[in-house]
Amino acid sequence: MLLLSACAPQSKVAVSPPPPPAVAPVAVPAPPPPVPGDVPAPQLPVPGDVEAYKARVASEIWLRNAEVYADPVPDMLKSVVVLEITIDRAGNPVGIAVYRSNGFKHLETRALESIARAAPFPAPAPGVLEGPGCVTFLETFLFRADERFQLRSLVMPALAAARR
C-alpha cells in the first residue's frame, strides 16, 4: 500500500495545461560566480516528485546507518516495519510514526532511530511540498534474520530494472 499525504488535506482540481507561449522563450543569463566567504552555500532543494524525494531520503538513511545490507532481499524476512515520515521544507523530520509492524518492538525502535541518525535530509523541492510546507510518505524497512535492514524505496527500482 502506498500512502502519500500532506500536512493538511488539499482538494484536487483538474487543471488543463497552459497554452504554449506566444513568444519564443528568452535566454536567462547565468548567475554571477559565487564570492568566497565564511557562509556555507545553502542546500539546494531536491528536484522531482514525491517518489524521487522518497528515494533520496532512503539513500540518506542507508548511507548513515551501519545496520543495513546491500545483498538481495531474502525470500523470508524477520520483520517488515512501515514508518509514516513527515519532513518539513528545510528537510527536518517533524513526524515519524510506526504505520505497520509485525510486533518486533526493538526493530520498530531501530527503524525510528535510523531516521534520527540520518536527519536532516535534503530540502524537498517546492513542487513536492503540500499543505503548510511539508511532505509525508511511507517508507518500508525490510529486516532479515540478522536484524539488518534494507529500504523498500531502494530495493524496488533495482528489482524493476532486473526484470527488464
| Digit-coded pLDDT (tens) for 81-93 | 999 999 999 999 9
Average pLDDT, rounded, for the chain: 77
The residue among 84, 85, 109, 114 whose CA lies nearest residue 99 is: 84
pLDDT exceeds cutoff 60 at 131: yes
Q: Which residue has the cell 539546494?
A: 44
- Grid cell at residue 110: 531501530
Taking a C-beta distance cutoff of 8 angstroms, is the pair 90, 44 a contact? Answer: no
Taking residues 38-46, report their average pLDDT.
Answer: 43
How many alpha carbons lie under 13 Å from residue 43 in its C-beta half-sphere? 12
At 43-86, the pLDDT tens digits run: 444 556 889 999 999 999 999 999 999 889 999 999 999 999 99
